[in-house]
Amino acid sequence: MIFVGLILAACGGGSSNEQSSKDSRDSKNEDGNFSVAMVTDVGGVDDKSFNQSAWKGLQEFGEENNLEKGDNGFDYLQSNSDADYIPNLNTLVRRQFDLIFGIGFMLQEPISEIASQHPDTYFGIVDSIVEAENVVSIMFKEQEVSFLAGVAAAMETKTNKVGFVGGMESDVIERFEAGFIAGVKSVNPEIEVMSRYVGAFDNADKGKQIANQLYTSGADIIFHASGASGNGVFAEAKERKQNDPDAVVWVIGVDSDQYDEGTVGEYNVTLTSAMKRVDNAVKDVSTRAMNGDFPAGETLNYGLAEDGVQLATTGDHMSEETLAEVEKYEQQIRNGEITPPGTFEALKAFTN
C-alpha cells in the first residue's frame, strides 16, 4: 500500500544553524549509500504485532533498495528490558546507521537523550513525540481504526458483552480503548464493554488469564491492544475453541493482520484486526531520508485518510451486514462527520 498523503505538523524551528546541520546530514546520501535500523521495545521483533510490523517494513525497504541485513544495510536490535534501550541505540549509532528508529512510546526518553548527543544522525520515534531537529515523530490515529473494530464487535456479538485488553496504560492504548468503546456504543449503547489491563506488553500468561476471566464473564469478542501479551488472549480463545468447536469466542487483533495467530486446527478465532501500518510508515520515512528529504523535526500523523490504519477482512468472518456498517462509519470518519474520541474525556462527551 502506498500512502497518498501525510499530515505534517512541524515541531521544530527553522534557524540557519538547524538548516546547515540538516544539509550536512542530507549530503552524506549523495553517494547512494544509506543504512537504517530499529530498536524494538520489550515485545520483541516477533511479537506478531507492533515490532514485527515495523521490522517487516524495514525488510521490504531493504529488499526494494538492494540492501543487505547488517552494517551498511538494514538491521534491528531487540530489547529484553527497558535497560536495553539506550545501549541498543548507542550500538546502532556506533555502527553508523544513517537512520535509527525507536519502536514504541517507551523509547521516547532514550531517543531524546541519544538524539541530542548525536545531532548528525537521523532518528525516528514511533507512537510518541520528541521535539528535536534530527528526529521525526511518527503517530497514528488509533482511535479511528479501533472505532471501526468496535462497530464490528457490536454487530457480531451474540451476548452483548465484549472485552478490551490493554497492555500498559498510556496515551496510545487510551486511544485504542476510547475509540473501541465509542464504536461499540455508536451501534448499540446497551452493549457492555469490559476493560482490563495486563500491565505489560510481554506477559502472555497474564494476557491469557485476563482473557479467561472476560470470556467466563460472558464476553464473546475480545479486542486486545497489548503487544505480545495478546498472544495469551489468542491462546485462551483457541483453547476454548479446541475444547468446544461450538464455542463462540472471537479475538480482534491489533497492529498487524493477526488472522494466522487465530488458527487452531480447522477453525480460526480472529474476527478482524485493527491494523496500524507501521511497516508503511517506516518505509515511507526511510525512503524520504534516503532521498535527502528527511522530515526533520516534524510529526507525521497516519490515519484512515492517509491509509495509515485499516480494518482487516482476512478470513471473511464478518457478515455482509457488518461490513456494510463498518464501511458506512468509515466514510463518515473520512468525511469528517464523525471524529472518534482519542481520550477518555473525549469519550464521555462523545457518548453523552
Q: What is the DSSP letter of 262?
A: G
∠ Cα 268 274 277 (to 5°): 115
pLDDT for residue 46: 87
DSSP string, 54-114: HHHHHHHHHHHTT--BSTTSEEEE--SSGGGHHHHHHHHHHTT-SEEEEESGGGHHHHHHH
What are the chain's domains?
A: 7-140+277-306 (3.40.50.2300), 142-275+315-345 (3.40.50.2300)
142 in Cβ contact with 179 (< 8 Å): yes
Q: How far is CA 211 from the centre of its chain?
A: 21
196 in Cβ contact with 203 (< 8 Å): no
Query: Closest Cα partner for 180 from 115, 272, 289?
Result: 272
66 in Cβ contact with 103 (< 8 Å): no
Query: Crossing angle, helix 108-117 and helix 85-94, to 10 degrees?
Result: 30
Rounded Cα distance between 277 and 263, Å, is 22
CA distances from 40 to 50, 64, 123 (A): 9, 22, 14
Cell of 182: 465509542
Q: What is the DSSP letter of 47?
A: S
The one-letter amino acid code at 172 reads V
pLDDT for residue 48: 74
Cell of 199: 500491565
Rounded Cα distance between 257 and 1, Å, is 14
Q: What is the DSSP letter of 254?
A: E
Rounded Cα distance between 165 and 93, Å, is 36
Q: Helix or strand or coil: residue 25?
A: helix
274 in Cβ contact with 223 (< 8 Å): yes
Taking the model in full, what pTM does it have?
0.82
133 in Cβ contact with 18 (< 8 Å): yes
105 in Cβ contact with 137 (< 8 Å): no
206 in Cβ contact with 46 (< 8 Å): no
Mean pLDDT per 10-residue segment, the chain (352 residues): 34 37 43 87 84 94 96 96 97 98 96 98 96 97 98 98 97 97 98 98 96 98 95 98 97 94 96 94 96 96 91 96 98 97 98 91
Cell of 6: 501525510
